[in-house]
A and B are shown apart, each in its own frame.
Chain A
Amino acid sequence: QKEVEQNSGPLSVPEGAIASLNCTYSDRGSQSFFWYRQYSGKSPELIMFIYSNGDKEDGRFTAQLNKASQYVSLLIRDSQPSDSATYLCAVFGGSQGNLIFGKGTKLSVKP
């Protein structure tokens, strides 16, 4: 059973701080990695994707991928209360033919 693991949280950070969300995956052959944000009662919204080792930055968001350690993370700089949501990590590739989602980490940014 291929797995994507995330700490369920809640992760609580003060406004303006850096929030660090982590995800590990079991299939070493995985090829592409995604971060989705899901507000309560809403659908998942794609915020970042990364295919290669290293960092990828988009505004306040940075995705980091380390395939050797089978680890992908999402950093949110200058966290805002509006960033409070559940963040889902999703992984594709390897032996499975579809996208596997983690159960998500709930982030709470306190004013």
Chain B
Amino acid sequence: DAGVIQSPRHEVTEMGQEVTLRCKPISGHNSLFWYRQTMMRGLELLIYFNNNVPIDDSGMPEDRFSAKMPNASFSTLKIQPSEPRDSAVYFCASSFRAVGYEQYFGPGTRLTVT
């Protein structure tokens, strides 16, 4: 079975540009999570969706970040405009139950903003 799919795997962009990260959750999973991982802060939850509805976006660092889930098989995380401090690995994870249950991570997108 396919796991969580993320694209692109690597993204290098210049400060001020728009960045869009994509995620396809595991089929049948109804919860989707976006995380950011850095050496300094570790793994941080940015936002999660349940049945395509955003439930908690308190981890989104600022208005430059936005996320959507138009259907059960696709989600995007957008950063506009991007800044060097946004450089991190962004993971998408999904779960077939609610947030308190097992989550399965995608391979991640390594974002570098120069």
Contacts and interface: CB of A to CB of B under 8 A. Distances in A.
Interface of A: 31-32, 34, 36, 42-46, 49, 88, 92-93, 97-99, 101-104
Given A101-B43, A104-B42, A43 B91 contact: yes
B100 A101 contact: no
A92 B100 contact: yes
Given A34-B103, A44-B43, A93-B100, 16 more contacts: A32-B101, A36-B105, A43-B91, A43-B105, A44-B91, A44-B105, A46-B102, A97-B55, A97-B99, A98-B56, A98-B99, A99-B99, A99-B103, A101-B43, A101-B44, A102-B42
Interface residues of B, number: 20
B106 interface: yes
B54 interface: no
Contacts, number: 44
A98 B105 contact: no
Given A99-B45, A101-B42, A92 B99 contact: yes
Nearest to A103: B42
B102 A34 contact: yes
Nearest to A51: B100
Interface in B71-96: 91
Contact of B107 (A43, A93, A98, A103): A43
